[in-house]
Structure 1
Amino acid sequence: MDIFTIRKKCNDDTIEITQHFLIRIHQRKIFYKEIKNVIMHGEIIEEYPNDFPYPSCLILGKTTDNRIIHVVVGMNDTKLYLITAYEPDPDKWDNKFKKRKDC
């Protein structure tokens, strides 16, 4: 997966949103436009090529008000699937939120 291909699919015609995703972002007070901003300006920090049903990845980015957000997306040939989004826990991630800490 590469970020440029993901960004090309980051539009309302090709994004698929699940009920689970909507519930989670509502609980976490993350807005849809912030998710799109993270995808368009963030970077892939982990890849999951064997995820089912589609390969996925973890994207790190900032919201328009500078909140650090992780977004997990999956992708097939035609769609971008928004899986989840959250503010990373500083106890579990390094100070740049790019690498998981060893537990």
Structure 2
Amino acid sequence: MIEIKKLQAYYQADMVFVTAHAAERFRQRGIQAKDIRQAVNNGEIIEQYPDDYPYPSCLIMGLSVKMQTIHVVMSDEGNCSRIITAYYPDKEKWEDDLKTRKV
């Protein structure tokens, strides 16, 4: 199971990477790198994906620099992490707490 403290430590050690594809998605969504870092630093893990390939990942809910709720998917690769995606949660898909998926 991934722990938020470990992902925060990767940020502190400058061991978090972003693919070009993910960076393009952030740009399209108006999300900046500082928003993602802020969300990870103040966030909590709300879903775990232990069977993701090639590395386990998790979904973090946190607040952006402008205090907007943001979701970030990160991997744990053992000694570093990769940002897979980040987005502002859609209220059509998430309950009011923005932690629970609607069924």
TM beyond 0.5: yes
> Which sits farther off after the overlay, 4-13 or 93-102?
4-13
RMSD between superposed Cα atoms in Å: 1.0
1:98 maps onto 2:67 in alignment? no
Aligned counterparts of 1:73 and 1:93: Cα–Cα separation in 2: 19
Aligned length: 102
Aligned counterparts of 1:66 and 1:85: Cα–Cα separation in 2: 15
Q: Structure 2 matches for 1:33-44, cutoff 5 A? A: 33-44=34-45
Match of 1:5 in 2: 6
Structure 1 gaps, min length 5: none
Match of 1:74 in 2: 75
Deviation readout 1:53-84 (Å, 9 max, x if unpaired): 10000000111211110000001111110000
Aligned counterparts of 1:57 and 1:6: Cα–Cα separation in 2: 10
1:15 maps onto 2:16 in alignment? yes
Which stretches of structure 1, 4 residues or longer, exceed 3 Å deviation after superposition? Answer: none
Aligned counterparts of 1:78 and 1:39: Cα–Cα separation in 2: 17
Letter in 1 for 2:72: V
Aligned counterparts of 2:72 and 2:13: Cα–Cα separation in 1: 17
Give the structure-2-normalised TM-score: 0.95
Letter in 1 for 2:78: D
Secondary structure of 2:59's partner?
strand
The 1:90–1:35 alpha-carbon spacing in structure 2 relative to 1, beyond 3 Å, is same
Structure 2 gaps, min length 5: none
Deviation at 1:96, TM superposition (A): 1.0
Match of 1:48 in 2: 49
